[in-house]
Amino acid sequence: MRSNGRQRRSVARPAKTKQPAVRRSAPSNRPWQLLSTSHRHTDRLGQAIGRALRGGETIALYGPLGAGKTALVRGIAQGLGASPTAISSPTFVVIHEYNQGRLPLAHVDLYRIRSPRELESTGLTEYFSGQTVTVIEWADKGLAALPQDRIEIMLNHRAARSRTIQFRATGPKSDEVISLARRQYGKTERAPQASPRRALKREATTRS
């Protein structure tokens, strides 16, 4: 029996050395950053996030004018099963609510908010307690009011049609959603695209 034990140990050793490499490649809180090379690319990313949402999440969007925040919200709406074409920039109304998807969606734009009092008058915090998914453009203008556990997404111009997009979770619930979205997005991006040659050409022209 002892000789069997030795055999077992010698078989087990290579498996032990391989395990850490597998774990290192997939920790859930690894920062997620990617380059979107078109608005459709951003849209697919938004859809993956929308599909991963469970209800009650807050998504804080940061980035300059035209960075693609509203484009991402359209994808999120679609991932929730709502109509993406209904989504417009709520610059004057501040908050738009959509109820056609599997979860209620509140699309918020704080661009014109100038003071804490104006922020309070929007009623934003009322959205944070139920099942509503609250997506906030120009979230930096409402930082004091945001829930502690939130998904933060930073978008930035890289070239005419490319944007860097960075994700950060500030709590466990958000971390779970980002991990799930990341897996789902990875699957869709590995699947063959309708026109791979066009996609490659597009990438080559925008990454220079």
Ligand X SMILES: Nc1ncnc2c1ncn2[C@@H]1O[C@H](COP(=O)(O)OP(=O)(O)OP(=O)(O)O)[C@@H](O)[C@H]1O
**3-state SS, residue 167:** strand
Closest to 57 in 3D by CA, of 168, 172, 153, 149:
149
Residue 39 within binding range of ligand X, rule CB under 6 A: yes
42 binds, among Mg ion, ligand X, none (CB under 5 to 8 A by kind): ligand X
Pick the closer one to Mg ion by CB: 66 or 123: 66
- Phi and psi, residue 112, nearest 5°: -90, 5
Distances (CA, A) of 19 to 15, 16, 27, 183, 188: 6, 5, 13, 20, 27
The only residue of 46, 63, 75, 90 in contact with ligand X, by rule CB under 6 A: 63
Q: Is 161 in the site for ligand X (CB under 6 A)?
A: yes
> Which residue from 191, 173, 157, 164 is spatially nearest to 64, judged by alpha carbons?
157
Q: CA-to-CA distance for 171 and 49, rounded, in angstroms?
A: 16
Residue 68, binding choice from ligand X, Mg ion, none, Cβ under 5 to 8 Å by partner class: ligand X
Question: What is the β-pairing status of strands 162-169 and 95-98?
Answer: unpaired
89 contributes a contact to Mg ion by CB under 5 A: yes
| Residue 169 site contact among Mg ion, ligand X, none (CB < 5 to 8 Å, cut-off depends on kind) | none
Window of 69-77, 79-87, 143-151, 168-176 that interacts with ligand X by CB under 6 A? 69-77
The size of the chain, in residues, is: 208
Judged by CB under 6 A, does residue 92 bind ligand X?
no
Residue 152 binding: pick among ligand X, Mg ion, none (C-beta 5-8 Å cut-off by kind): none
Site residues, Mg ion (CB under 5 A) = 69-70, 89, 137
Site residues, ligand X (CB under 6 A) = 36, 38-39, 41-42, 63, 65-71, 89, 137, 161-163
